[in-house]
Amino acid sequence: MAMGKSMRETFRSLSAAEFFYRNREIAGFSNPSRALYQTVRELVENALDACDSHEILPSLYIGIKLVNPQKSFYKVTVSDNGIGIPPHYVPYAFGKVLFGSKYKLRQTRGMFGLGAKMAILYGQLTTGKPVEVETTPLGSRYRYYFKIMVDIKRNEPIILERKMRRLKKKSHGTAISVVVEGDWSRAKNKIYEYIKRTAIAIPYASITFVPPDSSEATVYKRVTNKMPPPPKEVKPHPHGIDIEMLKMLISVTEASTLKEFLAESFQGVGPITAEKFLRDIGFDPNMSPHSLTAKGIKALTSELKKYNGFKPPRADALSPLGEDLIIAGLKRVLNPEFVTAVTRKPSAYLGHPFIVEVGIAYGGKIPSTEEPQLYRFANKIPLLYDEKADVSWKIVSNAIDWKAYGAEFPAPLVIFVHICSTKVPYKGVGKESIADVPEIEKEIKNAIREAARKLRTYIFRKRKEEELKKKTIVYVKYIPEIASSLAVLSKPSNTEINGGGLTVKELEKMLLNLVREKLQKLGASINVESLRRSIKIR
């Protein structure tokens, strides 16, 4: 009896909320500095998701306020003009771990109904303060206000306060405030960098940031109204399946035969392919999917993963930025002298579609550094930590001979790498660096080379022009002298030498025209007039 009781206690299962709180460093809440950064990140990503997937041009406000200087409590507020949240759903969205609207196969920033809740749980446990949510769903005329805490043991929301008011004007969107124990002075650089890189990736967003230590806001104004196409929902590809997923698909299917089940539940599998595949691997195509044994499910999973007769995974679930937006984003934030971008065709690894995009920005306001400045993004989220462990760093620092492309270090060179996928292959649990998946590595390499070739063309043309300019300066400097010597020769007594009778001015003009013609033939864009003026000033 006593034994039974203690057994029950020992094996009490953790609630999902408790489990994640105990493992908070996995989700990026390991210390006050990282936690402050992560809180901003989670709220910003939710705000952008609420706009992006519904084709609303985002306007974001991000504010951090020091609310308790003795204890270093910071209030982080992020407000957006997204689709809002239906009021009955608010307590669960913010008070129940693993509750979310993104359990679908398509590219979003959030995924598992976890992010914001980690910030809320962390805040609750370090400061004892509830989360405040204000929201107006699309089409509603009400602003709903909630104060919520999480009952960690039960993984259920506790509503402390709830209000609503009618709005005079139509609007939509959400504002969320979380109070967390933070360390602004240590998180500051990362938070500014995160916002800057978000501004690069999302040039169609307006972002205002008000930091705790200055009343001066950082503002990034929207520079384009173009948005990437929103991702579509897709069925899983057989190569990306695992046993649990197959069980789940079987449990919800209404198909009466195995072949029907495959054709309906997966992409890339038609009825004919399904029948052929099942016969090839010795399964009866007409058996009921519900009569599969555990062993059968295991065997089917491994056959699905390796069969080569399916169509490759589709990329409609992805939402790449596209070359124009990458260029617009790099320009708005970095003011480079040269910028280019490449969006590769969709590709796949292990049944997961992905697209690699690369941008290169060079010169202008970009400071020169000893190493390339790498800006990494996964599904439009900037990745700031663990750079040296990332596959992109390996390529940028080792596989590319930048000198051959005209960039000699120290150089003002920024490389933007974006990977979008329904499953980004992160290295480890921190989700800050991407693993060396050969298919992805190859795409990144090719994309960087393609963009770097354009950089080379630009740099080499520029160098040539500079040489030509130096030469032109020499000619232009001596033209007046040459002209007056020629004029002496062209006095009436010397008419046979130069055709006769030209003045210094006329000779100068002739010679300048010769220089101009020559430059034009070389395709150089050097303005001889302004060169002359600049020489005269000196």
Helix (H) or strand (E) holding 460: helix 438-489
> What are the strands of the beta sheet with 173-181, ordered from one edge?
156-166, 142-151, 131-136, 173-181, 73-80, 59-68, 206-210, 218-220
DSSP 8-state symbol, 369: B
- What is the SS3 assignment for 230? coil
* Binding residues with ligand ADP: total (CB under 6 A): 21
Measured CA to CA, the distance from residue 500 to residue 62 in angstroms comes to: 77
Looking up tokens 């690699």, which residue turns up? 356
CA dihedral 292, 297, 298, 299 (to 10 degrees): 70
Figure out which of the listed residues 110, 173, 212, 382 binds Mg ion, where binding follows CB under 5 A. 110
CB closer to ligand ADP out of 53 and 340: 53
> Does 191 contact ligand ADP by CB under 6 A?
no
CB closer to Mg ion out of 35 and 486: 35
Q: How far is the CB of 43 from Mg ion (least distance, A)?
A: 8
Q: Which one of ligand ADP, Mg ion, none interacts with residue 34, CB within 5 to 8 A by kind? A: none
294-306 helix and 243-252 helix, angle to the nearest 10 degrees: 110
Token couple for 537: 């000033």
Stretch that binds ligand ADP, among 94-102, 178-186, 201-209, 437-445 (CB under 6 A): 94-102
Residue 532 has a CB neighbour count (10 Å cut-off) of 18
Measured CA to CA, the distance from residue 358 to residue 349 in angstroms comes to: 19
- What is the SS3 assignment for 450? helix
Phi, psi values for residue 519, rounded to 5°: -60, -40
> Does 178 contact ligand ADP by CB under 6 A?
no
Stretch that binds ligand ADP, among 8-16, 112-120, 267-275, 474-482 (CB under 6 A): 112-120
* Binding residues with Mg ion: total (CB under 5 A): 3
Amino acid at 304: L
CB closer to Mg ion out of 49 and 508: 49
Stretch that binds ligand ADP, among 78-86, 229-237, 258-266, 391-399 (CB under 6 A): 78-86
Measured CA to CA, the distance from residue 73 to residue 127 in angstroms comes to: 7
Q: How far is the CB of 525 from ligand ADP (least distance, A)?
A: 48
> Does 80 contact ligand ADP by CB under 6 A?
yes
CB closer to ligand ADP out of 51 and 258: 51
| x/- track of binding to Mg ion for residues 113-132 (CB under 5 A) | --x-----------------
Q: How far is the CB of 410 from ligand ADP (least distance, A)?
A: 40
> Does 53 contact Mg ion by CB under 5 A?
no
Q: Which residue number has the CB closest to Mg ion?
A: 110
Figure out which of the listed residues 32, 87, 91, 100 binds ligand ADP, where binding follows CB under 6 A. 100
Figure out which of the listed residues 34, 42, 150, 415 binds ligand ADP, where binding follows CB under 6 A. 42
CA dihedral 525, 527, 532, 534 (to 10 degrees): -80
> Does 82 contact Mg ion by CB under 5 A?
no
What SS3 string covers 39-65? HHHHHHHHHHHHHHCCCCCCEEEEEEE
> Does 47 contact ligand ADP by CB under 6 A?
yes
CB closer to ligand ADP out of 135 and 433: 135
| x/- track of binding to Mg ion for residues 13-52 (CB under 5 A) | ---------------------------------x------
291 burial (CB, 10 Å; 0-12 / 13-18 / 19+) is exposed
Figure out which of the listed residues 64, 114, 121, 381 binds ligand ADP, where binding follows CB under 6 A. 114
Stretch that binds ligand ADP, among 108-116, 367-375, 452-460, 495-503 (CB under 6 A): 108-116
Phi, psi values for residue 395, rounded to 5°: -70, -50
Phi, psi values for residue 455, rounded to 5°: -65, -45
DSSP 8-state symbol, 434: B
Q: Which residues form the interface with Mg ion (CB under 5 A)?
A: 46, 110, 115
Residues of the shown chain interacting with ligand ADP in the complex, contacts defined by CB under 6 A: 42, 46-47, 50, 80, 82-83, 85, 93, 100-102, 110-117, 174
